[in-house]
Amino acid sequence: MLEDKIYAALKNIVGPENISRDPAILETYAYQWCNEVDNTLKGREPSRFGQRPEAVVLPGSAEEVQAIVRLCNEHDIKFKALSTGQGAWAGVTVPRAIQIDLRRMNRILEINVQNRYAVIEPYVTNAQLQAELVKHGLIHNAQGGGPQTSPLASHTSFVGPSFTSSHTGFSGRNLLGAEWVLPTGDIVRVGSFNYSGEWFSGDGPAFSLRGVFRGGYGAYGGLGVFTQCAIRLFSLPIPKDWKWEIKGTVPDYEWNLPPYWKMFVLNFADWDTFTEAFYEVNDQDMSMMAMASSAEGLATMFTNTREAALEAIFAGLLVKTQRYFVVMVTAHTEREFDYRTKFLQAILKKYGGQDLIEEGVVTAQPMHYAEGLRNSLGNHAFRFTSCFQSTHGGLDTIAMSVKIGIVNQPIKQKYIEKHVIGDDRGEGIWITGYEGGHMAHLEVPTVYDPSSPESCRGYAYYQDECNKADISNALGIPFFIVGDAFHDSYGPNVMDYPRWLRKIKAAFDPKGVSDPGHYVSSKPREGST
């Protein structure tokens, strides 16, 4: 238990109303989505409860965060920062640790329309930011975690694909600077803001601190606390005087569609023609959204309830769907819209494809455009069992993403036949392209029953086998390789990179107080290199 004098010191920093060690409150922080998988892979029971923090504190400023971190250094207490929180990676992982809940820091500090960037605090949500951006005809990369999650967390500390990534890119590439409370308690302002007060570049002179603190996937809270950041914004094609009209409630709501917006579902006979067509659409920057899934995924995207999705699947969607990707065209003018739609028609003709919307196989209602724009389509997958998780997730070429899907199918099918994960014939994938098709991301969403220990274990063992397949087939590093044991299993195959992560950890966190459980500790595990 946290000593009374330390608890009192924390209370003096944030005020008595912004701290608690009530066991009932602390348990809510220990209860996280996917803890059951994390626990299973670590040889524990598949429980949704992880490590309970010894206290939770809610700072209201970077200075209060700094004071908390310095106190942790003084008394050898570990800490883990949390913004909106989603998944096991949000919680503490070790005893004698406190949770720093950043929900009081929820302001949009600046929207710079001319230079297309926004400055935000940790508890700003995608929905909150997007509601302000659309007033200016702008959009940000709202990660696939959904409208309720934190874009600061995605841009500074976590993975960042979204349903609009073909237009808005990858969160880690859109970071234009950050205010960073180091594990020592020092405050660093990364990028041009530190020199000029303007957020136009994420790096200053010398080596890239962005590369140090986040790299491709982020440090999952293992390298201090980010208290604000600037992110790149993108054009959203809507008329300047456009008025949004929304009627009804979720899941059945109506939304007035802006002019020059249209969805297509481009369906091809095999992976080869799919890959070539996907390359061309991404290369020409033709869409707000270009992403692929399975027939089951298509059913969840273009329906509003579980019953409707199942009805669509068994009404012939499985037979009529082959290798497809969804495209959402948006344009500023009629001429631009005509050009883009004619380009897609030419792609269909060139590669022998069909538009499943034109064929009447699926119907895109106005709300489905809204769900895509809000990056809420992924949440539709929760309708089947209230839970899913993804394997793989490497960042590489489109061709490599397709290869991951092909390698995964027989592995997934094996666990489907054991009746421990949802049956999507092993075809359930999600692919999106970035930056003109130069990069792509594939993950394999998989539904399981979180109330069934057998299903939780089955999914965890499936994930472990996928991780091993990524090594043996040289498919890249999955995005949920976190913690010493997992990094050490990959290190010998990838230039011993954990050695460099540990050098970074030791340099920036000499006392090891920033919870290392989903990053790395500064010292190698026994038996590792």
pLDDT per position as a tens digit, 471-482: 999 998 888 888
Domain assignment present for residue 512? The answer is no
Same domain, 228 and 256: no
Domain boundary residue, one of 327, 346, 379: 379
pLDDT of residue 311: 86
Q: Which helix (H) or strand (E) holds 341?
A: helix 334-351
221-238 pLDDT per residue, tens: 999 999 999 999 999 999
pTM: 0.94
| Strand positions, DSSP E, 298-377 | 323-330, 354-355
Same domain (yes/no): 112, 97: no
Distance (Å, whole) CA 412 – CA 86: 25
> Do 147 and 183 fall within a single domain?
yes
The answer to whether 164 and 372 are in contact (CB under 8 A) is yes
Rounded to 5 degrees, what are φ and ψ at 14?
A: -105, -10
Which of these, 526, 529, 478, lies nearest to 41 by C-alpha position?
A: 478
Q: Which amino acid is at 119?
A: V
Q: What is the pLDDT of residue 275?
A: 96
Mean pLDDT of 249-272: 92
pLDDT for res 393: 87
**pLDDT in the model for residue 526:** 60
Q: What is the dihedral of CA 452, 457, 459, 463, to 10 degrees?
A: 160
For residues 417 and 349, membership in a common domain is answered with: no
Identify which has the larger pLDDT, 144 or 108.
108
3-state secondary structure of 257: coil
CA distance 426 to 193: 47
Regarding whether 390 and 319 lie in a shared domain, the answer is no
Residues 6+ apart with CB under 8 A from 12: none
Which of 441, 472, 503 lies at the terminal end of a domain, its last residue?
472
The amino acid at 65: V
3-class DSSP state of 179: strand
Q: Looking at the structure, tell me whether residues 266 and 216 fall in a common domain.
A: no
CATH of the domain at 180: 3.30.465.10
Whether residues 367 and 396 fall in one domain: no
- Pair 30, 66 in one domain: yes
Q: Looking at the predicted structure, is the pLDDT value of residue 139 above 90?
A: yes
What is the pLDDT at residue 181?
98
Q: What percent of the chain has pLDDT over 70?
A: 98
The reported pLDDT for the residue numbered 324 is 95
Q: Of 43, 71, 101, which one is at a domain's C-terminal end?
A: 101
Segment 163-201, tens digit of pLDDT: 999 999 989 889 999 999 999 999 999 888 877 888 888
Is residue 62 assigned to a domain? yes
* Shared-domain flag, residues 370 and 390: no
Query: Can you tell me the distance from the alpha carbon of 58 to that of 53, in angstroms, rounded to the nearest whole number?
Result: 13
Asked whether residue 58 is domain-assigned, the answer is yes
Query: What angle do helix axes 334-351 and 271-283 make, rounded to 10 degrees?
Result: 160
Q: Is residue 201 part of a domain?
A: yes
Contacts with 319 (C-beta within 8 Å, 6 or more apart), sequence order: none
The larger pLDDT score, comparing residue 498 to residue 526, is at 498
Q: Which residues, other chains included, contact 318 with Cβ-Cβ below 8 Å and sequence gap of 6+? A: 295, 425
Number of domains observed in the structure of the chain: 4
Which one-letter DSSP state was computed for residue 451? T
Q: How far from chain centre, in Å, is Cα 465?
A: 22
**Whether residue 399 sits in one domain with residue 362:** no
Q: What CATH number should be reported for the domain holding residue 262?
A: 3.30.70
The average pLDDT across 302-318 equals: 84
Quote the domain boundaries for residue 319.
Answer: 248-379
Instruction: Give the pLDDT confidence score for residue 525 in this predicted structure.
Output: 59
Residue 405 lies in a domain: yes
Report d(CA 246, CA 27) in Å as an integer: 38
**Residue 506 maps to a domain:** no
451: which 2 tokens? 């109330």
Q: Kindly report, residue by residue over 320-341, the tens digit of the pLDDT.
A: 899 999 999 999 999 999 999 9
From CA 11, how far away is CA 226, in angstroms rounded?
A: 21
Query: Cα–Cα distances in Å, from 343 out to 285, 328, 338, 348, 350?
Result: 11, 13, 8, 9, 10
Dump pLDDT digits (tens) for 48-92: 999 999 999 999 999 999 999 999 999 999 999 999 988 888 999
Structure tokens at 57: 């504190």
pLDDT given at position 527: 55
The answer to whether residue 523 is domain-embedded is no
- With 0-12 / 13-18 / 19 or more C-beta atoms within 10 angstroms meaning exposed / middle / buried, residue 294 is buried
Distance, in Å, from the CA atom of 131 to the CA atom of 169, rounded to the nearest integer, reads 20
Q: Is residue 196 part of a domain?
A: yes
Asked if 319 and 393 sit in the same domain, the reply is no
- Does residue 361 sit in the same domain as residue 458? no
